[in-house]
Amino acid sequence: MKAFSYIDGTWHEGNPPLLGPMSHATWLSSIVFDGARAFEGVAPDLDRHCERVINSARSMGLRSMLSAGEVEELAREGIRKHARDAELYIRPMFFAESGWIYPDPDSTRFAISVYESPMPKPSGLSVGLSPFRRPAPDQAPTDAKASCLYPNSGRALRDAEKRGFDNCVVLDPLGHVAELATANIMMAKDGVVHTPAANGTFLAGVTRRRVMQLLRDAGKDVRERSITYEELQGADELFSVGNYGKVLPITRIEQRHLQPGPVYARARELYWDFAHST
């Protein structure tokens, strides 16, 4: 895997050391990140991802020494170190070196990694219901893309794979659908697109927002609302929406099989058209 990381003003190839055993981020997880994509010579919504990592840092009590524009500039510098058609993941991070239980904002550091990561093929995902739930905003820093949130997603995904699924549906504390373990989710029923309302329990992603806008601009009725798992089981179409895989079809929920449908196909087509127009 070809990778370049920018640390303390210098680009390094491979996987250079970053944290020490006494770093606050190492033992108390005071670290936030974001993920953007470059593929087919484009990097859609890179500016929005750079803005979000700044906001995540603030939410976690960290202090950004860079503007979103400066983060984006470094990201594009990293992209240029790879072949133009490379499929890349772009991961800026802010983290604390010191503090007690909460981080000392003045100890904030920044790094960004740009590395090869193949895009998933739209071959179809299988999902089931996770026994684990997303935390409420008063239980965890859900308004940030914080590393400390991901062990919960990891155990949900591990459990799903043990039960024969590619991914899983995670509920919020009230029992409504929040998202998949690794992406947001959309469903189509009778030609209407539905997606869980952003209620603070999950990261309402950059790609989610973009796909909603594109579908609405194309004349689709897109509704954000509370959704039950039973509604997903009866949907005409299901698809995932997220930065890592962009728009992917869900072709099985529990033991019910689905075909990639016209709404999914239109959403993916619209997104690819948008990506190549920027």
CA distance linking residue 24 with residue 107, whole number of Å? 9
Number of domains in the chain: 2
pLDDT band at residue 50 under the 50/70/90 scheme: very high
Same domain, 134 and 268: yes
Q: What is the rounded average pLDDT of the residues 17-43?
A: 97
CA distance linking residue 161 with residue 32, whole number of Å? 26
Average pLDDT, the chain: 97
Same domain, 139 and 221: yes
The DSSP secondary structure of 132-152, one letter per residue, reads EEPPPTTTS-TTS-BGGGHHH
Q: What is the rounded average pLDDT of the residues 76-85?
A: 97
Q: What is the rounded average pLDDT of the residues 70-84?
A: 98
Same domain, 7 and 141: no
pLDDT band at residue 268 under the 50/70/90 scheme: very high
Residue 97 in this model has a pLDDT that exceeds 80:
yes
- Phi and psi at residue 261, to the nearest 5°: -105, 180
The DSSP secondary structure of 196-231, one letter per residue, reads E---SSS---HHHHHHHHHHHHTT--EEEE---HHH
Please give the DSSP secondary-structure letter assigned to residue 13: E
Same domain, 92 and 148: no
Helix or strand or coil: residue 44? coil
Q: Any idea what the CATH number is for the domain that residue 100 is in?
A: 3.30.470.10
Same domain, 159 and 271: yes
What's the confidence (pLDDT) of residue 1? Answer: 85
Burial 177-210 (b: 16+ CB within 10 A, else e): bbbbbbbbbbbbeeeebbbbbebebbbbbbbbeb
Q: What is the rounded average pLDDT of the residues 6-18?
A: 96
The model's pLDDT over 83-94, given as tens digits with 9 standing for 90+, comes to 999 999 999 999
What's the confidence (pLDDT) of residue 110? Answer: 98
Are 114 and 4 a contacting pair, CB within 8 Å? yes
The model's pLDDT over 100-159, given as tens digits with 9 standing for 90+, comes to 999 999 999 999 999 999 999 999 999 999 999 999 999 999 999 999 999 999 999 999
What does the angle CA 184 – CA 143 – CA 65 come to, to the nearest 5 degrees? 115
- How many residues make up the chain in this entry? 278
The model's pLDDT over 202-242, given as tens digits with 9 standing for 90+, comes to 999 999 999 999 999 999 999 999 999 999 999 999 999 99
For residue 72, which of 49, 89, 39, 94 has the smallest C-alpha distance?
A: 49
pLDDT band at residue 278 under the 50/70/90 scheme: confident
Same domain, 7 and 66: yes
Q: Which residues does residue 194 pair with via DSSP β-bridges, in sequence order?
A: 187, 223
Same domain, 250 and 135: yes
What's the confidence (pLDDT) of residue 163? Answer: 98
Domain boundary among 116, 136, 167: 116
Give percent above pLDDT 90 in the chain: 99
Same domain, 107 and 131: no
Domain that holds residue 10: 3-116
Same domain, 267 and 137: yes
Q: Which amino acid is at 124?
A: G
Q: Any idea what the CATH number is for the domain that residue 132 is in?
A: 3.20.10.10
Q: What is the rounded average pLDDT of the residues 65-71?
A: 97
Residue 270 in this model has a pLDDT that exceeds 80:
yes
- Strand pairing report for 125-133 and 246-253: parallel
The model's pLDDT over 163-192, given as tens digits with 9 standing for 90+, comes to 999 999 999 999 999 999 999 999 999 999
